[in-house]
Each structure stands twice: as C-alpha cells, then as structure tokens.
Amino acid sequence: MSFHLQREQQFKELEDFIDSVPEKTSSLITVLHKAQEIFGYLPEDVQKFVAVKLDQPIAEVNGVVTFYSYFTETPTGKHIINVCMGTACFVKGSAEILDEFERKLNIKVGETTPDGKYTLQVLRCVGACGLAPVVTVDDRVYGHFTKQMVGKTLEEYN
C-alpha cells in the first residue's frame, strides 16, 4: 500500500470517528487520543484536520498537544520505553537503568532507534512508588526494575 493511500485511509478513519462523537465541542482530548492511535503521532496536518473538524482554533489544538506529555508531534517507535525518574525511582537506581537502555539501544532519551522499533523516554512519576524503580514498555509496567533486566526486557519485544 502506498504512503499516500495509507494516509488517506487514516484521515478517513479519523473523520469517521469524529463524525461519531456526539458532543464535538468537548471532545478534543478524546479525538486527539484517537488521532494519535491512528497515526502514531500528531503532526501539523493532523492537528489542522482536527481543528477544522471540531471547529476549534489550531492554536487551541496545538496547545493541548504540547501541554500533555502523552501526545507527541514526532514519530515514535513501535515500542515506547519509559523510565521513571521520579524521586523514589531515582533514589533506587533509575538513572543507571536509563544509561543501560541508552547503551543497549544506542540512542539517547527522546530518540527512536533507526529501525523504528524503540523510542526511549523518561517520566517524572508513574505513581507506583512502591514498585520503584519502574519502567514501562507500551502499556506494561515493570516494577522493581534493575539494570540487569534491560537486555531480557528488550528481547521480549523483538
């Protein structure tokens, strides 16, 4: 399937979703979640499309996208790895874990591996301090994480 045909289908899927939303004026965040699910990220053309469809200023849409850390304006890898750097996690060694992910993946925080498989990010707090240090991969939470678990965890997603 060509890139342009795929994009066209993605915009059609998003348009169908927006058309199904009963209360458009209060659905911006819901629509942005769906858009990111469809496209993988929220580039400018997608934000403009959402703004037009919801009859909202592009500045408002972009303000929401840039305010919430969940949303991203750049493509991400197939798997998103987050290392919690909150106080409890940091004290228990999350910086060392982050260093090991950077070493194994040969990327820095905020980068995606050249093959598009992994994006490495940090979070300020996952809210699971009792499990510190915490790493998430996609929607899966790994508690009591150690530097030695990095390689095995990456193998799970190969």
45 is in an annotated binding site: no
CA distance 92 to 21: 44
* 61-78 residues labelled b (16+ CB within 10 A) or e (exposed): bbebbeeeeebbeeebbe
- The answer to whether 58 is annotated as binding is no
Tell me the C-alpha distance between 15 and 12, whole Å.
Answer: 5
- 122 labeled binding residue: no
3-class DSSP state of 19: helix
Kindly report the backbone phi and psi dihedral angles of residue 114, in degrees, each rounded to the nearest multiple of 5, phi listed first.
Answer: -55, -30
Q: Is 78 annotated to bind ligand?
A: no
* CB neighbour list of residue 67: distance below 8 Å, 6 or more residues apart: none
Count of CB atoms situated within 10 Å of the CB of 20:
8
Binding site, annotated residues for [2Fe-2S] cluster: 84, 89, 125, 129
Binding site, annotated residues: 84, 89, 125, 129
